[in-house]
């Protein structure tokens, strides 16, 4: 094998390995922010369930807080998430209550603090 082709092979293998490392790192980075968003939403949902107003949560005018509090008090789980736009720090976190209804919180991480916007509400009958 000629000297130039060995160098080219090393360059290609090194470049491929670098791409794999960057790709794997991006998943770990995104997972870090998803866990943070989930923790912030669970903490807020627990406070809402007992009737408190959590800090850094903005409620939409149409949200029936009393009904939401009762639904969350009966129990809830994180049903999933979606990325918002192209940011790795903005997520829509889906909270499913035991009665099957779903509340979607928008979670934004800014300057070390999670800010939540509450909520899209879907009845169980309207969900797939």
Q: Please tell me the total count of domains within the chain.
A: 1
**Between these two residues, 23 and 75, which has the higher pLDDT value?**
75
Calculate what percentage of the chain has a pLDDT beyond 90: 45
Distance in angstroms (rounded) separating the CA atoms of residues 119 and 105: 5
When computed from its CA atoms, the radius of gyration of the chain, rounded to whole angstroms, is 21
Domain that holds residue 54: 3-126
Give the pLDDT mean for 36-55. 93
Q: In the structure, how many helices (H) and strands (E) does the chain have?
A: 2, 5
pLDDT band at 28 (very low <50, low <70, confident <90, very high): confident
* Two structure tokens written together for 117: 């916007």
**Spatial separation of the C-alpha atoms in residues 51 and 127, rounded to whole Å:** 26
Phi, psi of 45 (to 5 degrees): -65, -40
Question: What is the per-residue pLDDT for 72?
Answer: 95
> What pLDDT, on a 0 to 100 scale, did the predictor assign at position 83?
84
Taking a C-beta distance cutoff of 8 angstroms, is the pair 95, 104 a contact? yes
């Amino acid at each position: 094998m000629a000297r130039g082709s060995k160098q080219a092979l090393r360059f290609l293998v090194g470049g491929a390995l670098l791409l794999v490392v960057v790709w794997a790192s991006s998943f770990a980075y995104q997972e870090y922010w998803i866990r943070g968003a989930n923790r912030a939403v669970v903490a807020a949902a627990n406070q809402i369930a007992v009737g408190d107003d959590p800090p850094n949560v903005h409620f939409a005018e149409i949200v029936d807080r009393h009904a939401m509090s009762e639904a969350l008090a009966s129990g809830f789980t994180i049903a999933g998430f979606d990325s918002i736009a192209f940011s790795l720090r903005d997520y829509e976190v889906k909270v499913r209550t035991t009665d099957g209804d779903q509340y979607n919180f928008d979670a934004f991480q800014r300057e070390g603090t999670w800010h939540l916007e509450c909520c899209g509400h879907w009845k169980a009958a309207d969900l797939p």
